[in-house]
A and B are shown apart, each in its own frame.
Chain A
């Protein structure tokens, strides 16, 4: 028998809201409420509320914490100030990506790592085995809920409910405060390409916060948003999804994540391997493409050129805002320039596609 699916503290809320629940990374999660296209467009035009409590959170605290993170992760953790968030990677010694994550510097020697839901157990085993030092790890995934408020109306909505000035929180920064009376880490981050916040709260208060946001957000046109639209929103931004676009068989350079690998910072796990790829240049690259012929590319479809297989689609769908069939995939570096054409094999037939400028839709995140 399959292992029982885990549920977030908001499971009952989703069911009552009429969500369609599906298995995702070991969790029973809402894939959609009213419909993926409508939810997607509402996030682009107004504001949407996401339950992403399935994500994992680890804390590491102690005098050795900065050094441990510097060795475990590819970005320069020493550049992270208290109150700042950093996107980073865990790599294995071959340069394969164990996970992508965000790191929060809570205090001088205390950090929080947010990891992908499907990787919680693998990452926990990895960091506790490879991340030894004068610091202690704590897995706080179960007691932590995570809500994302995303869209052009997110700032106004969060601002009305928070007891801190959310307009002062810069992109990839966070503040501690209360939102609708609930103690939260208020983080100006997201996975949609829109302005907005991710709110970390204790699991027991997730329902209160959800209800308060849905209620106060009525005036802003808020809707609950499922994982279906979360996926199409991130695809329009060409944000990588672990397990689809990146995994332990892909390296950060070919995935276009070289900007979070700081070779010059000193030793870290995977450095020699990644440095080699960087020096030689990647053989393949993760590109964003648009279908020229009318067809939908899907994860796992083959990419062909002149009938021969040259790569693979890692993500593909209809982009509800750009109103085109778009995708991401690995192709040889010599076929990875904007304008380069290839075919995607859809039901045995090659359908033309071309590499385009990404993001597919211009990012609206607050960069100030």
Chain B
């Protein structure tokens, strides 16, 4: 099936988080971009915005659908991927690389325990993914 790197943590809303020290880089999974189809618009918060675990932080739109994005971890947004404004298709082309969305300065690292491992996420997808 899909491609779910073992070094990432996952949510049941199909976001991933990559821990980089006290920061987490965030995007959506290969499964999510495949389900959405062509991504044509991404709305992200401004740097400095506070986000909370499993609360919406933005919106991704494909030709046909509008979907909320959920923060895998609580904290403050310290970086956003400005390139997605002009090139939202990067989310489809490279969901774990150039299609990243945010970097969060994590406020409660223990929240990561609530996230899924790659194996748990794949099992979740195998059961239907919702």
Contact = CB atoms under 8 A, between A and B. Distances in A.
A, B co-complexed: yes
B37 interface: yes
A317 B40 CA distance: 9
Interface in A1-36: 20, 31-32, 35-36
A352 to B, nearest CB: 15
Interface residues of B, number: 13
A318 B40 contact: yes
- In this complex, which of A31, A294, A318, A347 has the most chain B Cβ atoms within 10 angstroms of its Cβ? A318
Contacts of B61: 296
A294 B40 CA distance: 11
Contact of A317 (B59, B63, B89): B63
Given A37-B38, A296-B41, 7 more contacts: A37-B40, A228-B64, A295-B43, A296-B66, A318-B41, A318-B63, A320-B63
Contacts of B47: none
Contact of B41 (A32, A37, A294): A294
A50 interface: no
B63 A36 contact: yes
Interface of A: 20, 31-32, 35-38, 228, 232, 294-296, 298, 317-318, 320, 325, 347
B63 A298 contact: no
B85 A294 contact: yes
A232 B63 CA distance: 8
B56 to A, nearest CB: 10
- In this complex, which of B43, B59, B63, B66 has the most chain A Cβ atoms within 10 angstroms of its Cβ? B63
Contacts, number: 38
Interface string B54-97: 00000101111010000000000000000001000100000000
Interface of B: 37-38, 40-41, 43, 59, 61-64, 66, 85, 89
Contact of A37 (B43, B59, B63, B66): B63
Contacts of A232: 63
B30 to A, nearest CB: 15
A35 B41 contact: no
Nearest to A39: B38
Contacts of B89: 37
A325 B61 CA distance: 12
Closest 5 CB pairs of A and B: A318-B40, A37-B38, A36-B63, A296-B41, A296-B61
Nearest to B66: A298
A170 to B, nearest CB: 33
Contacts of A38: 38
Contact of B40 (A31, A32, A296): A296
Contacts of A320: 38, 63
A135 to B, nearest CB: 41
